[in-house]
Structure 1
Amino acid sequence: MTARRTGGVPVIGLDLGGTKIAAALVAADGSVLARHTLPTPATLGAEAVLDALAKEVRAVWAPGVSAIGVAAAGVIDPGSGTVISATDTIRGWAGTALAAGLAARTGLPVACDNDVRAAAATELSGSSEQGTTMIYAAVGTGVGGAVAVDGRMLHGAAGVAGHLGHIPSPEAEGLPCTCGTTGHLEAIASGPAITAQYTRTSGLPADRLERVAVRAAEGDPHAVGAVVLGARATGRALGGLANALGADRVVVGGGVPRIGALYLDALNAAFAAELMAPLRGLRPVPPRGGPDAAVLGAAALTRALPLHHPRTSRTATGAPR
């Protein structure tokens, strides 16, 4: 492992979530030169996921690539490059030697951190954001988050700072969470949780959130109720955290908010209703980086965190193994 930076050469950013892996070839100026995605083999175990990450590296690789940054689901220790803990969204993910495993498969040095924290860091890149206290939520297959205080991203004990999906939520009382407990925000607010809530209340099957969103747009009251409940739970939680931290920026990203105005209107109303008087002008905003926020944040890890090198080297211009 070394602190060597990647300078002006391109790097590869990987965003690993419970549903998909996104890869991007990122130039030194931050522009995305190539993109690729594939489904996460989440039920096949850690080795299959590492193999899929390596496949994504090969899909966007170009001569001159110097390093890989991985923004991964779970509690990640950047120093050891290890997944400290994780929910069962990715089977067997906890304890995985992420950086070493991917470096061995590609022959490239690897930096890694939690996926949402990496994406959130892109929100603090401007000089005007150096003193920002920010809450960043990513609502998708799970509910992830990151917190920055006075412009400094928090990792906290064991790297768990910002895991917003695992705070108590009254709307989720009694519902099992992916972390093994009950009553957490993720159990009512994630995409799969909203879908499950629809099935519980309607008795009708739905295989994914997008189908629930379509039914809500058609006026199905059970679909509307499930979407609104998940959105309100998220809004209330974020409003309470904004009060506790004195936040001056709240960012909400991920796939769930993209289902439309029904969700966003409910989230914003619930958020505003929780705020103390000095914060009443505060409203959640989408990520500045748009859909590329996570892969750009991943690429930036190669400049900010330790690089874990493969045990066997390759030439600087050789293709990854």
Structure 2
Amino acid sequence: MSTRPLPLPGPVIGLDLGGTKIAAALVGPGGTVLARHTRPTPATEGAEAVLDALRDAARTVDDGATAIGVAAAGVIDPRSGMVTSATDSIRGWAGTALGTGLADRTGLPVACDNDVRATAGPELAAVDGDRASLLFAAIGTGVGGALACDGRMLHGAAGIAGHIGHLPSPEAAGLDCTCGGAGHLEVIASGPGITALYERLAGRTADRLQTVAERAAQGEDSAVRAVVTGARAAGRALGGLANAFGPDRVVVGGGVPQIGPLYWDALTDAFTHELMPPLRRLRPTAPLYGHDAAVIGAAVLSTTVPLHRPGVPQ
């Protein structure tokens, strides 16, 4: 499957907001990146400082942009432009009026959504047909996701649709989750989750997931078990979701799937064993877009979700 030109009528600024950095790009018609800029996120300074940093990043790449799209960390409601929930990776981020706050600062209309849904938008556009369905998972420090059915991205109440990391997972039974619950997929399938499982199994520390992957490649049993357990937990959850939603395509991105074939093969095997007969030929694939995926997806939001305009009350 190859990428196709994206429906951008003119230059749009795409912003990718994470807990550590803000990536900005000027994206031209068809999805071509014309300019890039990166700066740290002032994550400990409060929401107003983050909005100011987004404004400054946008100005750095602006050259006649007609709108701004923001792919943001947290639970984002694109209809209201509000951050409805967030972790403490950005202090005071929950409750922020992202759409109108940035529009008032820049004078440009602003579209916004959760970063994973935004990244999934171009992946949906690459599927043939205007009623395509997509299941997208981003497995890294956390486990995020996006669901699209019949050509439409699902947002759900308060913008929470797609948070697949908080599905119950038998492998995570009894483990506390960052959301305040317990036994969720994220605490066993994310990078930190796999690393923590390895430390419990091996009785020794690992500074990061890559260390666990290297030890697994050397044949260490505890490392192999940790990687395979996390991968199988993710694969089973995605297979179950595929049965529920009937996607035309399943995409698995993020840093964790890049640790090697041990992980990818275990995830794929668990995924395929869950599938009902009509879906038996479905297989997870890697994303089509590279390191610009989030900023391109952010820019595309300006054509798919509501625009919040300067001077218009929330």
TM range (shorter): 0.7 to 0.9
Decide whether the 8 Å contact of 2:55 with 2:105 is kept in 1: yes
Identity %: 69
Corresponding pairs, count: 306
Decide whether the 8 Å contact of 1:88 with 1:179 is kept in 2: no
1:171 matched residue in structure 2? 171
- Kindly provide the amino acid, as one letter, of the partner of residue 116 in structure 1: V
Q: TM-score, normalised by structure 2?
A: 0.88
1:110 matched residue in structure 2? 110
Q: 1:225 to 1:7 in 2, by over 3 A?
A: closer
In 2: Cα distance, 1:261 partner to 1:7 partner: 36
Q: TM-score, normalised by structure 1?
A: 0.86
1:212-251 alignment to 2 at 5 Å?
212-251=212-251
- Kindly provide the amino acid, as one letter, of the partner of residue 37 in structure 1: T
Gaps of 5+ in 1: 1-5, 313-321
In 2: Cα distance, 1:190 partner to 1:276 partner: 26
1:140-289 alignment to 2 at 5 Å?
140-289=140-289
1:56 matched residue in structure 2? 57
- Kindly provide the amino acid, as one letter, of the partner of residue 298 in structure 2: A
Post-superposition offset of 1:290: 3.0
- Kindly provide the amino acid, as one letter, of the partner of residue 29 in structure 1: G
Decide whether the 8 Å contact of 2:124 with 2:133 is kept in 1: no
Post-superposition offset of 1:116: 1.4
Q: 1:30 to 1:7 in 2, by over 3 A?
A: closer
Post-superposition offset of 1:43: 4.8
Post-superposition offset of 1:230: 1.3
SS of the residue aligned with 1:306? coil
In 2: Cα distance, 1:203 partner to 1:42 partner: 34
Post-superposition offset of 1:287: 1.7
Post-superposition offset of 1:280: 1.3
Q: 1:232 to 1:45 in 2, by over 3 A?
A: farther
Q: 1:149 to 1:114 in 2, by over 3 A?
A: same
- Kindly provide the amino acid, as one letter, of the partner of residue 12 in structure 2: V
Post-superposition offset of 1:216: 2.7
In 1: Cα distance, 2:289 partner to 2:107 partner: 29
SS of the residue aligned with 1:290? coil
In 2: Cα distance, 1:205 partner to 1:182 partner: 23
Decide whether the 8 Å contact of 2:78 with 2:159 is kept in 1: no
In 2: Cα distance, 1:45 partner to 1:203 partner: 39
In 1: Cα distance, 2:284 partner to 2:8 partner: 34
In 2: Cα distance, 1:99 partner to 1:16 partner: 13
Post-superposition offset of 1:64: 0.9
SS of the residue aligned with 2:291? helix
Gaps of 5+ in 2: 1-6
Decide whether the 8 Å contact of 1:86 with 1:179 is kept in 2: no
Select between 185-194 and 17-26 the one with higher mean Cα deviation.
Answer: 17-26
- Kindly provide the amino acid, as one letter, of the partner of residue 27 in structure 1: G
**Deviations along 1:51-81, whole A, 9 cap, x unmatched?**
443343244x132122211011222111221
- Kindly provide the amino acid, as one letter, of the partner of residue 66 in structure 1: T
- Kindly provide the amino acid, as one letter, of the partner of residue 93 in structure 1: W
1:77-156 alignment to 2 at 5 Å?
77-126=77-126, 128-156=128-156
**Deviations along 1:211-236, whole A, 9 cap, x unmatched?**
33233333333332222211111100
**Deviations along 1:163-211, whole A, 9 cap, x unmatched?**
1111101111111111110011111111222222223333333333233
- Kindly provide the amino acid, as one letter, of the partner of residue 120 in structure 1: A
